Amino acid sequence: MKTYLDILKNVYENGIDRDDRTGVGTRSIFGVQARYNLQEGFPLVTTKKVPFKSVVSELLWFIEGSNDERRLAEILYGNKLTDKKTIWTANANADYWKPKAKFNGDLGRVYGVQWRSWRTFKPLSHNEDNLLVGNFEYVDQLKDVIERIKTDPFDRRLIITAWNPGELNEMALPPCHMFMQFYVSSDGELSCQMYQRSCDMFLGVPFNIASYALLTHMIAQICNLEVGEFVHTMGDAHIYKNHFDAVEEQLSREPLPLPTLWLNPDIKNIEDFTMDDIKVENYQHHPAIKAEMAV
């Protein structure tokens, strides 16, 4: 994970200090790209422990198209009645969002909803006031992209976007990782490039790298392809000021060999994966480093 650590060090040593929405303050640089060859090991950060089960559960929750934080808790803990927290609990309970929430745990039209149910208006006619009337239709971007990878792998439109300008005010948190494009090489390798507008280099980015690398592996398997690269293009790459000590601790550690990913080879449909079908093997890591998430 030298690529990630080099970027983390660059932001810490050369970034500019700025105010931010949370009031915590950041040090940031703008415009960074990292490339991870998925055939060289699974890119799970080793200089601290990354909670891989949280990565898996969130991705499965996205794939479901859910907007319910309590459903995420159920996937993670295997218990419908759990009151345990998830990485989305703070957002679901944020003061700025709670008045908009329609039920306990509602996050609005966040990532998975956009992936699986992008809402579009189909006009049918004009009413007596000459206003358009019609129906909402829904686009399943994930299903469509997977089908096109199978049937037209060299298509340059293998794209999924979570950034929906018309619905940003209906989300507990506008998407940070917002746009992905897939690419199939002539020798049958699937790569994914993701654009992330806002990049919490210490807490969020290791999680995002693992999540999109995992998604690439899962789609490759169900499309009978090998994996290629995960390309991570970052906009505002920042370290929160209350993470500086944690970053110094992480940068003082030597990386360890990368783990490998195991997927249940019997799974042929993206919606059939469960927590038990996804594992990392030989994950050697330094101890976890705790830091508070800015909300």
Catalytic residues: 176
| Rounded Cα–Cα distance for residues 147 and 158 (Å) | 10
Enumerate the H helices of 100-175 as residue ranges. 111-116, 141-151
Residues 26, 238: contact at Cβ < 8 Å?
Answer: yes
Give the CA-trace dihedral at 182, 159, 260, 265, to 10 degrees.
-90
Residue 43: half-sphere exposure toward Cβ, Cα within 13 Å:
30
Within 8 A by CB and 6+ apart from 36, the residues are 3, 43, 209, 213, 229, 230, 231, 232
Containing H/E element for 71? Answer: helix 69-77
CA distance linking residue 295 with residue 287, whole number of Å: 25
Q: Are 196 and 176 in contact (CB under 8 A)?
A: yes
